[in-house]
A = this chain, B = another copy of it.
Amino acid sequence: MQELTPRQQEILLWIRQYMVDHGIPPTRLALCAAMGFRSPNAAESHLRALERKGAIELVQGVSRGIRLVEGPKEASGLPLIGKVAAGQPILALAHIESYEPIAPELFQPVAHYLLRVQGESMRNAGILEGDLVAVHHTLIAQNGQIVVARLEDEVTIKRFYRQGERVELRPENPDYPVIEVNLKKHALHIEGVMVGLIRA
C-alpha cells in the first residue's frame, strides 16, 4: 500500500468507522455528506485514489461495493518474540517467531509482545518454563515489578529492585542467584514489564 495523504487517511478511517457503526460500507453520498463535499464526485474521486493506492478495493457497479484491504495477520494478535540479537530492538521483525491469537487488551496495561520463559528462575512467582509472558513495553519499571531486562546481550525476566546506581534482578527461586548490576559499569535496559501470562 502506498503512502496516503492526510485527507485520504482521514477518509479511510472514516470508512472503517462507518462500517463498524453500520455493518455495511458507505455510499458515495454518505461519504460526500460526512466530508462536507458539495458533489458526490469528490467522494468518488477519493475512493478511486484509495483504490489506486491499494487501501481499498472497489467492486464495479455494485452498490456499497467497497472493501477494506485487510492488513496482515499481525494486526490482530500478539507477536511471540524468539531469540533477540545483540543490539537490536526487541520488536525487530527478525525476532518475531509467530503471532498468537491473543487480544492485547486482555491485559492491563495492554501487552505489546510475548516472551517464552526459559528456565525456572521465576518458579515461585508461578512462572514456569515454557510459559508465555505478556509484556507491556516500557523503559521504566517500579521496584518489585517483574521486568524484561536486557543486560549486555542477555534478555532475562526477573523481579526489579533499584537503589541509586545499584540494581538487583531477583529470581523467584532460591536455587538461582540474585543478579546485581552497577549501572556505572554495565549497561542495563528495561524492555518492559510483565502484565500477564499464558500457559497453553
Query: Of A59-67, A162-170, A180-188, which stretch is located at the interface?
Result: A59-67
Q: Is A127 an interface residue (CB 8 A)?
A: yes
- A107 close to B (CB within 8 Å): yes
- Counting every copy of the chain, the complex holds 2
By the criterion CB–CB under 8 Å, are B200 and A108 in contact?
yes
B23, B62, B64, B102: the one within 8 Å of A106 (CB): B102
Report A142-200 residues with CB < 8 Å from chain B CB.
Answer: 195-200
Q: How far is the CA of A106 from the CA of B99 in the complex (A)?
A: 12
Distance of A63 Cα from B26 Cα, bound (Å): 10
Give every chain B residue within 8 A of A63 (Cβ-Cβ). Answer: 27, 63-64
Contacts of A100 in B (CB 8 A): 106
Contact mask for chain A residues 95-139; partner B; CB cutoff 8 A; 1 contact, 0 none: 000001111011110000000000000010011100100100000
| Residues of the B chain whose Cβ atoms lie less than 8 Å from the Cβ of A102 | 102-103, 106
